[in-house]
Structure 1
Amino acid sequence: MIESLRDILVVSDIDNTLLTPSAGIPSVNKATIELFCALGGRFTVATGRTVESVRQRLGDLTLSAPAITVGGGVICDFSTGERIKNEILPRAVAYRALEDVYTRFPMLGIEVMGADDHLYIVRSNEFVQQHLLQEEMSCLLIPLDEIYCEWNKVLFAGDPDTLKKVKTFVEARYYPGVYFIETNAMYYEIMPEGVSKGQALKDLCRYLKIPVENTIAIGDYFNDIELLQAAGRSVAVQNAPGEVQLVADEITSACLDGGVAEILYRLIRQYS
């Protein structure tokens, strides 16, 4: 039961939901998040970005709950630096899948997000460079066999037509313990089986001792669908694809029109 803002957890996707890489966070979103948190509400993000990238992108915006990062593989409390959850890929299987794709698609960019908080570039291309610029990430360009840490996830970067071929290629093979997901028209990822933003939301609720029915999730893309389905209430921004909007309980304004602020302000008026 929700009696006040303190009983609510709002979780928002970052890219094209809370902000855009080019325009940043709309001022109305930032101001309303700060007010929501000051009044006792809990607000955080759920994103495919790394911990470092989230810190860089949010700047001085302070979250009032741990962040879901790396597509649900990592839950990090930014106030303490503690990783509440840190899921890793089965190394042998992920290595084999990466090698298979590396050999078959020589123009494809490949990134490995390490559990040591480093981003490793196995092979760069224009899409990897764009990704690095947009997400403000530092990285290490390194051969695959010299990455000694555990991996949180692998990202393939390329044009949409190439990624469709990659999808067909991997679906014809068997890689136990991992799954593949499209996170953008230019990105296709390897994730640990059972790891998603939706599962991470449930884990975060247990950690915070908040009923999952007291959560509100806001998203814009296909990789947000499990998050929207897991939450007590789901919201899609107006710029989301129609298939994502159909999953949501309601539609809010587009990202740059302050869709996140619209939801938070409604909660403030109702419960503060």
Structure 2
Amino acid sequence: MIESLADLLVVSDMDNTLLTAKEGVPSCNRVTIQLFCELGGRFTVATGRPVESVRAALGDLPLSCPAITCGGSVLYDMQADAPLEKHFLPREGATQVIETVMSQFADIGVEIMVEDGRLYIVQANRYTQAHVQEEKMHSVLCPLDQVPDNWAKVVFAADPVTLASLQSFCASIPMEEMYFLHTNLMYYEIMPAGVSKAQALRRLCAMQNIPMENTVVIGDYYNDIDLMRAAGHAVAVGNAPTEVKLVADEVVSTCRNGGVGEYLYSLIRKYT
């Protein structure tokens, strides 16, 4: 039962939900999140970004609950600056998949995100370059066999037409202890089995003793759908595709127009 803001956990996707690559976090979102947390509400993010990139994007914006990062591979307490939970890909199996993909798609961008959030670029293209610049990540160009252990996820980066072909090609690749996830028009990822934003939210709620029905998820893209379905209440920003809006319990303004802040302010008015 929700009686006050303190009973709630609001979880927002980052890119094109909470912020845009060019404009960053709209000021109305930033101010409302700060007020929401000051009044006792719990707010955090669920993102494919690593911790370093989350920090760079949010700056001094407070997160009053641990963040779901690397697509759910890492739960991280930003205030304590410490991981609560980590999950990794089987290196040998992931290496075989990467080599198979690279043999068929000569220009595919290949990134590997490791345990501490560092990004190793095995094969660069303009999409990996844009990824690093937009998300303000440090990266290292590195041969596949020299990438350090503990891989949180692998990202293939290319244009939408190439990724559609890649997705069809990968359907025939046997996968053990991992799976493919289409996270963006330009990114197709390999994730550890049993790891997702939705599973990470369930584990976070268990750690924090928060009933799942007291959670709100705000998202914008297809890879947010499972997370939205897992939450007690689902919100889509106005720039989300129709399929995502149909999963949501309500739709707010677009990311650029401060949809996250708009929704949080409605909670503030309701519970204070």
- Aligned AA for 1:250? E
Aligned mates of 1:130, 1:140 — CA distance in 2 = 14
Give CA-to-partner distance per residue, 1:158-182, whole Å, 9 cap, x none: 0111111111111012111111111
Which residue is equivalent to 2:69?
Answer: 69
1:186-244 CA distances to partner (integer Å, 9 max, x unpaired)? Answer: 11000011111111111110111110100000000011011101100000111000011
Q: What's the counterpart of residue 158 of structure 2?
A: 158
Counterparts of residues 133-172 of structure 1 (less than 5 Å): 133-172=133-172
Letter in 2 for 1:92: E
Secondary structure at the aligned position of 1:53 is classed as helix
Give 1:147 deviation, angstroms.
Answer: 1.3
Q: Is the 8 A contact 1:116 1:149 kept in 2?
A: no
1:238 is matched with 238
* TM-score, scaled to structure 1: 0.98
- State the alpha-carbon separation in 2 of the partners of residues 150 and 5 from structure 1: 38
| Larger deviation, residues 98-107 vs 153-162 | 98-107
Per-residue deviation, residues 98-123 of structure 1 (Å, max 9, x unmatched): 11111211101100000133110001
Stretches of 4+ aligned residues off by more than 3 angstroms: none
Identity %: 56
1:98 corresponds to 2:101 = no
In 2, Cα distance between the equivalents of 1:94 and 1:177?
9
Question: Paired residue for 2:43?
Answer: 43
Q: Which residue of 1 aligns with 2:252?
A: 252
Map of 1:22 onto structure 2: 22
- Partners of 2:218 and 2:228 within 8 A in 1: yes
CA root-mean-square deviation: 0.8
Query: Letter of the aligned partner of 1:190 in structure 2?
Result: I
| TM-score when normalising by structure 2 | 0.98
Contact 2:91 2:149 in 1 (8 A): no
Answering whether residue 224 of structure 2 is matched by residue 221 of structure 1, we say no
Amino acid at match of 1:32: T
- Amino acid corresponding to residue 171 of structure 1 in structure 2: A
SS of the equivalent of 1:84 reads strand
Shift of 1:148: 2.8
Aligned position for 1:5? 5
1:173-212 to 2 correspondences below 5 Å = 173-212=173-212
Indicate the larger mover: 114-123 or 25-34: 114-123
Q: Is the 8 A contact 2:114 2:148 kept in 1?
A: no
What one-letter code is carried by the residue in structure 2 that aligns with 1:267? L
Consecutive unaligned residues in structure 1, runs of 5 or more? none
Return the alpha-carbon distance in structure 1 between the equivalents of residues 106 and 72 of structure 2. 29
Q: Distance in 2 between matches of 1:150 and 1:103?
A: 24
Contact 1:71–1:196 under 8 Å retained in 2? yes
Aligned residues: 272
2:205 maps to amino acid? C
Aligned-partner Cα distance in 1 for 2:81–2:97 = 31
Distance in 2 of aligned mates of 1:189 and 1:117: 15
- What residue number does 2:114 align with? 114
Partner of 2:271 in structure 1?
A: 271
